[in-house]
Structure 1
Amino acid sequence: MRLLATIAVGIALLGVVPVPPASALAAPTPATPPVTQGTSSPAPSPAAATWGVAPSSARGPNGRPAFSYKLDPGANLTDYVGVTNHSNRPLTLNLYASDAVTTTRGGFDLLAADRKPTDVGSWVRLPSRTLTIPSTSRLDVPFTLTVPRNATPGDHAGGIVASLAGTAVDAQGNQVAVDHRVGARIYLRVTGELQPTLTVEDLRVRHTGSANPLAGGTVTATFTVRNTGNVRLSGRPVLGVSGPFGLARRSVAGAALPEILPGGELTTTVRMAGVPPLFRLTTNATITPAAMGDQVLDPPPRAGTAQAAVWAVPWPQLALLALLILAGWALIAARRRRAAQFARAVAAAREEGRAQAGRAPDGQDIPVAVGRQPSAAADGGSAPDDHPMPDADRSGPGPDNRHPTTDNTRKDEK
């Protein structure tokens, strides 16, 4: 099945470019691709054709890298574009002007061949749509550029393109029509008030934690930088990250952005490593506009910024903390158990000591006095001896040991 498509391959904006070139400015594939050829005869093989497009003059190329102008509204001028055929055969090329756009990756591109320009590409008038160039020759083609009276101030970008149609086979085996384009850039500044402005939109942030609890995670911020002013600009994005109450505030600069045309946009990504997971992180993406080339922005423009928050739960750190708490609790519990065992051992030793102290050496129990004899001093007599004699010893002879009852009985008998 034949599939026809117009694929713009290889718009080189300076010098000579062989076909098929590795393009730094590839136009998008149109949805309904017309096949454009310079003549009714089949287009020559692009592999055998090489041509170049560059700013020129009536006497030939003058070394300019691009068509650069600064004009008032309503002004017009005449200039030349040089188209050189480096092939050993004549070439019939399509020659036209178009508007420039910024790709999402920051490349300089022109509208597809089937899209009608509405800006500086529509202000350029060429003498013919097609151009036939003899082999190894150059043609210096005049063109006019007329600035509308109602043109908006600021930068307008486009290009003059020489294209060659051909056919090729894609990876699926389908035959496609290919439009090889080579061009030179046009930079036009219309006088008036300049408004250099870049804005940050669609900020998306994610935090990727580390399995190492002693290392921080990575914050990745992806956002769109849009040129909402009227000056082509560049800039360097800066990503700032901080925790609650501004804790651990850090910032990192990303790669410098390429040229962004007025109305254009591109998407960029900035990463920051070693970010501590402080549960809730606040991120700020900032872009400060920078002038292209030798332009001077006076006064300096304001920076565009956007803010977003992202959760950064420190799971590895929480797991480590839980392990430390568990280890501390286990250590305290072990110490308490050892202290309780030691206290029980001491109490048992004391009880055993008391039990051993209450026994005679031969194992007989030692009587223990329950109470004390009443003291004779309590009845007004003398205190008993430290070692009182038994009652049997006290009943022995002697006047002191006689019983008064016995004496009275004897008196009655008499």
Structure 2
Amino acid sequence: MRLLATIAAGIALLGVVPAPPASTLAAPAPATRPGQPGPSAPSSASPDPAAATWGVAPSSARGPNGRAAFSYKLDPGATLTDYVGVTNHSTRPLTLNLYASDAVTTTRGGFDLLAADQKPTDVGSWVRLPRRTLTIPSTSRLDVPFTLTVPRNATPGDHAGGIVASLAGIAVDAQGNQVAVDHRVGARIYLRVTGELHPTLTVEDVRVRHTGSVNPLAGGTVTATFTVHNTGNVRLAGQPVLGVAGPFGLARRSVDGEALPEILPGGELTATVRMSGVPPLFRLTANATVTPAAVGDQVLDPPPPAGTARAAVWAMPWPQLAVLALLALAGWALIAARRRRAAQLARAVAAAREEGRAQASRAPDGQDAAVVADGQPPAAGDGGSAPDGRPMPDADRRGLGLDNRHPTIDHTGKDEK
């Protein structure tokens, strides 16, 4: 079964002087994916097992002139004639399709052309070639003239495209289906239409993610992904910067991302910037900023303002909270243990005091309880004491008439009981 498809691959979009098949180019463009133009190098393609290589580059009526790309600056309504050189490096003749198309910026920042089945509406539609099909003898070059006419209502600024030479072939995909393949090689066109320029880059659709660390002493990683859109009329590069701060601007930091490649007017790409060691401060604010930069020998005067956008992300400090919880638990356990020991000591002291009081309340070995109890000497008639404070014997007490066990004699001489 034959699967009908068109896959454009191997397009060279930096015009150089074609070289033998083993040669390389001075400045290769980004790698391709099926269906899209690719790196700036002579392509190898063939509809049969024999290999074929060819190249496309700016030229003149007398041959290649060393230009890397078709670069023009024209007024609206202007017309020019130029030449494109197509070289067959193969040992057999090649029949190629020759046409012009518009350029676009891929989401990864590559310079690309519209697919072969898409009709150009910009600079690709302003190019007129004398013929669509070109047959080139083996190891030969043809310098093909073309005209470029700028419409009178063309918008000022940069317009990009390319001139392509393609070769159709047959390939087999991973499922064993036959696929029609369109291998393309091309040279870039950069046209600036005179008028007022507006170099502007806009940052859109900022998405921020925070990835925490299990180490409570290390911060997490903030990853910001955003779209950089060229909303002006000048092709621009850019320098992205990611700034991150916690509540009230705490722990504010910034980091530069990788420099952005060329973005064509109206084009956009996706950029990603990462920052490590970010403390988890519950709620983080991320600012994505892109400063426009000139491409090639352009001069941006005055420098355009930077594009910026903001987004917030939660950054919960789970490891730190776990450590704090353990410390709080350990502190509570320590305080509780101290309180228990203090309570036990207080109970022991109280018990000792009660025991002392109980022992003090008991008279030891027949001693007068009143003396033991309150420490006061016995009252008169209860034994008495000598003048020096020592207890007096009963005989002495009787001799002094202090023994209350005998009757006393009053002045009448009568006994009283």
CA RMSD of aligned residues (A): 3.0
Partner of residue 10, structure 2: 10
SS of corresponding position for 2:109: coil
Which of residues 98, 101, 104 is equivalent to 1:98?
A: 101
Which of residues 258, 275, 280 is equivalent to 2:278?
A: 275
Deviations 1:181-218 (A, max 9, x none): 00000000011111000001111111111111111111
Deviations 1:292-339 (A, max 9, x none): 011000010011010111111111111111111111111111122223
Deviations 1:329-380 (A, max 9, x none): 11111122223333344444555566677889xx84654325555579xxxx
- Structure 2 CA distance for partners of 1:365 and 1:46, relative to 1, 3 Å: farther
- Structure 2 CA distance for partners of 1:47 and 1:275, relative to 1, 3 Å: farther
Deviations 1:82-102 (A, max 9, x none): 000111111110000000000
Is contact 2:29-2:111 (8 Å) kept? no
SS of corresponding position for 1:210: coil
Is contact 1:96-1:162 (8 Å) kept? yes
Partner of residue 413, structure 2: 408
**Is 1:203 aligned to residue 203 of structure 2?**
no
Which of residues 212, 215, 218 is equivalent to 1:212?
A: 215
- Tell me which amino acid in the other structure corresponds to 1:281: L
Partner of residue 265, structure 1: 268
Question: CA–CA distance in 2 between the matches of 1:291 and 1:23?
Answer: 18
Question: CA–CA distance in 2 between the matches of 1:224 and 1:396?
Answer: 127
Is contact 2:29-2:110 (8 Å) kept? no
SS of corresponding position for 1:320: helix
Q: Deviation of residue 173 (structure 1)?
A: 0.9
Which of residues 146, 153, 165 is equivalent to 2:156?
A: 153
Is contact 2:56-2:185 (8 Å) kept? yes
- Structure 2 CA distance for partners of 1:395 and 1:24, relative to 1, 3 Å: closer
Question: CA–CA distance in 1 between the matches of 2:366 and 2:408?
Answer: 39
**Is 1:53 aligned to residue 62 of structure 2?**
no
Q: Deviation of residue 272 (structure 1)?
A: 0.7
Deviations 1:112-165 (A, max 9, x none): 111111100011110000000011110000011111111111000000000000
- Structure 2 CA distance for partners of 1:322 and 1:180, relative to 1, 3 Å: same
Is contact 1:358-1:366 (8 Å) kept? no
Partner of residue 342, structure 1: 345
Question: CA–CA distance in 2 between the matches of 1:358 and 1:284?
Answer: 84
SS of corresponding position for 2:3: coil
- Structure 2 CA distance for partners of 1:158 and 1:394, relative to 1, 3 Å: closer
Partner of residue 140, structure 2: 137
How many residues are paired up?
A: 389
Question: CA–CA distance in 1 between the matches of 2:54 and 2:123?
Answer: 24
Q: TM-score, normalising length from structure 2?
A: 0.85
- Tell me which amino acid in the other structure corresponds to 1:8: A
**Is 1:314 aligned to residue 317 of structure 2?**
yes
**Is 1:111 aligned to residue 126 of structure 2?**
no
Structure 2, unaligned stretches of length 5 or more?
Answer: 37-45
SS of corresponding position for 1:408: coil
**Is 1:291 aligned to residue 294 of structure 2?**
yes
Which of residues 243, 252, 255 is equivalent to 2:255?
A: 252
Partner of residue 39, structure 2: none
- Structure 2 CA distance for partners of 1:264 and 1:408, relative to 1, 3 Å: same
**Is 1:229 aligned to residue 232 of structure 2?**
yes
Question: CA–CA distance in 2 between the matches of 1:263 and 1:112?
Answer: 18
**Is 1:303 aligned to residue 306 of structure 2?**
yes
Structure 1, unaligned stretches of length 5 or more?
Answer: 31-42, 377-382
Partner of residue 73, structure 1: 76
SS of corresponding position for 1:94: strand
- Tell me which amino acid in the other structure corresponds to 2:67: R
| Further displaced range: 75-84 or 9-18 | 9-18
Q: Deviation of residue 45 (structure 1)?
A: 2.5
Q: Deviation of residue 392 (structure 1)?
A: 6.0
Question: CA–CA distance in 1 between the matches of 2:236 and 2:224?
Answer: 21
> Once the two structures are aligned, what percentage of the paired residues are identical?
81
- Tell me which amino acid in the other structure corresponds to 2:128: R
Partner of residue 183, structure 2: 180
**Is 1:166 aligned to residue 169 of structure 2?**
yes
Question: CA–CA distance in 2 between the matches of 1:396 and 1:135?
Answer: 166
Which of residues 125, 129, 133 is equivalent to 2:128?
A: 125
Q: TM-score, normalising length from structure 1?
A: 0.86
Q: Deviation of residue 268 (structure 1)?
A: 1.1
